[in-house]
Structure 1
Amino acid sequence: MDDVAEAAHISRPGLYFLFRSKEALFRAAVSRSLEADLAAADRILADTDQPLPDRLLDAFQQWTGRYLGPLADISVVIEDNPALLGPVVDEAPRRFATLVTEAVAAGPPGADPARAEAVAQTLISTSVGLKHQVDDPGTYRERLAVAIRLVLG
């Protein structure tokens, strides 16, 4: 907590005033990070000037791909501590799935909106699998791009 307080330029008692425990600080940090990732994914997916495959690839890179390599420990800590984090562990992935489903359902012209949920879940499952198979964001991105092309047809 001393290091965190120093980095935040506040006293340790001030830090404890804001966060009653290390767990509360951890929960707030993870929640903030997930909210930022969701907001970025939402902006990316809403940019209909870009082709859907590019938007999907960029959104998945933001949501999962950037947590590979040096940042891999972050996702491990989140996955290993679901009780500590509370409902955000389940809510954030559901919200991401909804964003992806809505983007797939909305376009491109001629796309079958009835398939949107299946497409989104297939891409999410592929992303989860890739996260455990590759250890750098570039390889993740390359392989997910192939999956997106195959799934979207």
Structure 2
Amino acid sequence: MPTPAAVAATTPLATDRRRAVMASALITFARFGYHKTSMEQIAKAAHISRPGLYFLFASKEELFRDAVTQSLEEDLNEVERILGAKDRALPERLLASFDCWAGRYVGPLAQDITRVIDDNPALLGDVVDTAPRRFADLVFSSIAARAGRSEREAAAAITQTMISASIGIKHQADDRAAYLERMKVAIEVLLE
């Protein structure tokens, strides 16, 4: 039998409200950390009553998991859209995709969100593994589509090297512009 929160989540208004609450929750988790964040703090940040919050989410764990999953799904859907836009050159599409996946998470608050997610993998379930794999698959497919048959194996290595470069640059860059500048160079070099 579904919980009241699950039933409430099925109405369009509740779905929009859930999305807004999850966005506020991510920022609150980033600010205070998962363990120090209370449902009361999230309710205040989301401009909703605490009982209203519990009506939408049965627990802090559920809210955290759903918020991270929603954010990753939105990112992946946007990456898929960007990579599918064949009217743009591949290097441009790849840079925009890496910006969506990682670049927008460069900076103090964004790093805090990443840290909260990295520090609490057990709460997230398999999305911690499936989302990065899906991103890698999308990048690989775009690179492989451009490559000839003999270069498909190289496409896998190029994909993994781009992802590794992105991770390193993300942790070294002071801001999103610096991330994008360096990632653009990495993409150009790897696609030569």
TM-score under structure 2 normalisation?
0.74
> Which whole-Å CA distance do the structure 1 matches of 2:114 and 2:47 have between them?
27
Which amino acid letter does the alignment assign opposite residue 184 of structure 2? A
Aligned to 2:163: 124
Q: Find runs of 4+ consecutive structure 1 residues off by over 6 angstroms.
A: 108-111
% identical aligned pairs: 58
Aligned to 1:134: 173
**1:52–1:108: 8 Å Cα contact kept in structure 2?**
no
Q: Does residue 112 of structure 1 match 2:151?
A: yes
Q: Deviations over 1:7-57 (max 9, x none)?
A: 545432232132111111111111100000000100001111100000000
Aligned to 1:77: 116
Aligned to 1:22: 60
Among 47, 50, 64, the alignment partner of 1:12 is 50
Q: Does residue 101 of structure 1 match 2:140?
A: yes
**1:105–1:116: 8 Å Cα contact kept in structure 2?**
yes
Q: Does residue 63 of structure 1 match 2:109?
A: no
* Counterparts in 2 of 1:149 and 1:6: CA distance versus 1, 3 Å: same
**1:61–1:141: 8 Å Cα contact kept in structure 2?**
yes
> Which whole-Å CA distance do the structure 1 matches of 2:158 and 2:166 have between them?
12
Q: Deviations over 1:91-137 (max 9, x none)?
A: 10000000000010112789933321111111001001111111211
Q: What is the root-mean-square deviation in Å for CA atoms of aligned residues?
A: 1.9
Which amino acid letter does the alignment assign opposite residue 41 of structure 1? V
Deviation at 1:5, TM superposition (A): 3.0
Q: Deviations over 1:70-96 (max 9, x none)?
A: 422111111111111111111100000
Q: Does residue 39 of structure 1 match 2:77?
A: yes
TM-score under structure 1 normalisation?
0.92
Q: Does residue 89 of structure 1 match 2:128?
A: yes
Where structure 2 has 5 or more consecutive residues not aligned to the other structure, the ranges are 1-38
Where structure 1 has 5 or more consecutive residues not aligned to the other structure, the ranges are none
Q: Does residue 144 of structure 1 match 2:153?
A: no
* Counterparts in 2 of 1:83 and 1:74: CA distance versus 1, 3 Å: same
* Counterparts in 2 of 1:102 and 1:55: CA distance versus 1, 3 Å: same
* Counterparts in 2 of 1:136 and 1:22: CA distance versus 1, 3 Å: same
Q: Considering only CA atoms, is the larger Rg found in Structure 1 or Structure 2?
A: 2
